[in-house]
Amino acid sequence: MSEHVNPLMLEPVPGLEFFPGPHRYRMNGLWVPHSVTQVLGFDMSPSKREAIERTKGGPDGWEARGNAVHSALDQYLSAMKLQNGHGVIYDDRWADWIDPLLDHPIFKGVEVLANEFAVYDAKKNCAGSFDFLLRTEDNRIVLGDAKTVSSKTALAKRQAAHSQLAAYQSMLATHTSLVGDRFGHRCGWTRRSSHPQHGRGRRLDLLGRSWNRYAVTLPRGSPVYEMP
């Protein structure tokens, strides 16, 4: 079990816990039945789901790669150590993914407001986690989530994570006023050389669009607090 403890500016959402093994959340001692990734991916094609499962495991699988990248980013943002390299310990085999990410200009001169932060939507009884929330020197707020792919070919096929990031933004807005009008970017990294995909502008409840399709597939009596 791992409760999200953030020593930085944002306090954790009261009562919300994350269990990384099964990738599940608990709110006030009760399991949260829905997650952002579950809702957004429920209608994935069987062939795509099979490919994801097939390439997930093993020492070269996307799960090991993603865990390594997220661990390095979490270390970097937690300490913001800029001397002696990045001050981050990681396996050199993942350097092609990690080095460009940590060297990206978006992390220069910023204030880290949160990293590895869990959020919750009480109406949908749904939770999720994003990788970082930053404040830039010109007072813009940047919310981001790192994604990795195995090659440039895979990058070309990778869809931008706009819906996922917008969902985190919407959920975060129920816990803090930081998002507000100062929100500037949503960033999702999707390749070895750390190419960010941006989404600008006002908060969009893109999760709600997927939720409408997802909720109608749930059995009667499922633990959903509110149907949009």
Q: What is the set of domains in the chain, with CATH numbers?
A: 32-215 (3.90.320)
Confidence of residue 154 (pLDDT cuts 50, 70, 90): low
Confidence of residue 86 (pLDDT cuts 50, 70, 90): low
Average pLDDT over residues 117-131: 93
Average pLDDT over residues 127-136: 90
Instruction: Take residue 183 and report the two structure tokens written for it.
Output: 């929100």
Q: Which residue has the higher pLDDT, 33 or 218?
A: 33
Distance from C-alpha of 227 to C-alpha of 63, rounded to nearest angstrom: 33
Write the DSSP symbol of residue 106.
Answer: G
Average pLDDT over residues 137-141: 84
pTM for this model (two decimals): 0.78
Confidence of residue 149 (pLDDT cuts 50, 70, 90): confident
E strand or H helix that includes residue 198: strand 196-199
Residue 195: pLDDT over 90: no
Q: Which residues contact 23 (CB under 8 A, 6 or more apart)?
A: 35
Confidence of residue 212 (pLDDT cuts 50, 70, 90): confident
Distance from C-alpha of 38 to C-alpha of 33, rounded to nearest angstrom: 10
Distance from C-alpha of 123 to C-alpha of 76, rounded to nearest angstrom: 34
The rounded mean pLDDT for the chain is 77
pLDDT for position 153 = 59
Burial (0-12, 13-18, 19+ Cβ within 10 Å), 78? middle
E strand or H helix that includes residue 19: strand 16-19
- Any idea which of 26-30, 128-132, 216-220 has the lowest mean pLDDT? 216-220
Instruction: Take residue 106 and report the two structure tokens written for it.
Output: 């978006």
